[in-house]
Amino acid sequence: MYGMVNSAIMDLIVATHGEETWQRVKFKAGVEEEIFISNDAYPDELTYRLVGAASEVLAQPADVILIQFGRWWVLDTALKNYGHLMKFGGRTLGEFLKNLPNFHTRVVMMFPKLQPPMFECIDLGPMELRLHYRSHRRGLSAFVIGLLEGLGKMFEVRVTLTHEERLDDGADHDVFHVSWSEAKT
């Protein structure tokens, strides 16, 4: 994964738990890098070690960490660093999700070694769809849940998710039922 991912994990942990906790996570993961270069590729295994170490240090399941990270990725990392691309993704959550393949095509131009996941949407109604998620990386469906929740906040809608099919349970890929409604103020 690119350094921007590992850097965002660091930013999340420092922002929510402090620098000392990040140092403990880094030590437990056996990571010596002081900084991660955003445009450099790092082994996926390093990122998995950081998440595993965060899970141990924070005494939270890895899926909880990944959901938090998915939200953080959308609401902090993506909006701060790639807000111009995010704006072109769509005016609504549904448009944005349907445009994810085009979005990833643009991102690959900036990061040529990127191996993005594949998303396919099937319309089920005006505020409802089925999202098919395929990736060569295992164990990241909780991250996708966090991304979807973060996108809901970004578009100011209340998102309801059902994880209908799971790669980890033997399915061919992950499938989510996603519906949304206007957020109540």
Kindly state whether residues 34 and 51 are assigned to the same domain. Answer: yes
Residues 6 or more apart whose CB falls under 8 angstroms from that of 6 comprise: 33, 36, 42, 46, 47, 50
| 86 neighbors 106 (Cβ within 8 angstroms) | no
- What is the span of the domain harbouring residue 28? 3-60
- Predicted pLDDT of residue 85: 75
Rounded Cα–Cα distance for residues 66 and 53 (Å)? 12
Kindly state whether residues 53 and 90 are assigned to the same domain. Answer: no
Kindly state whether residues 55 and 75 are assigned to the same domain. Answer: no
Question: In CATH, what number is assigned to the domain containing residue 108?
Answer: 3.90.1520.10
Region of 182 please: left (phi>0), alpha (psi -120 to 50) or beta: beta
Domain boundary among 43, 60, 77: 60
* Global pTM value: 0.92
Domain count for the chain: 2
Q: Tell me the residue length of the chain.
A: 185
Kindly state whether residues 176 and 102 are assigned to the same domain. Answer: yes
Kindly state whether residues 85 and 148 are assigned to the same domain. Answer: yes
Kindly state whether residues 52 and 81 are assigned to the same domain. Answer: no
Kindly state whether residues 74 and 99 are assigned to the same domain. Answer: yes
Rounded Cα–Cα distance for residues 137 and 159 (Å)? 25
Q: What is the pLDDT of residues 68-77, one digit of tens each?
A: 999 999 999 9
CA 183 to chain centre: 22
Kindly state whether residues 97 and 11 are assigned to the same domain. Answer: no
Kindly state whether residues 102 and 151 are assigned to the same domain. Answer: yes
Q: What is the pLDDT of residues 140-180, one digit of tens each?
A: 999 999 999 999 999 999 999 999 999 989 999 999 999 99
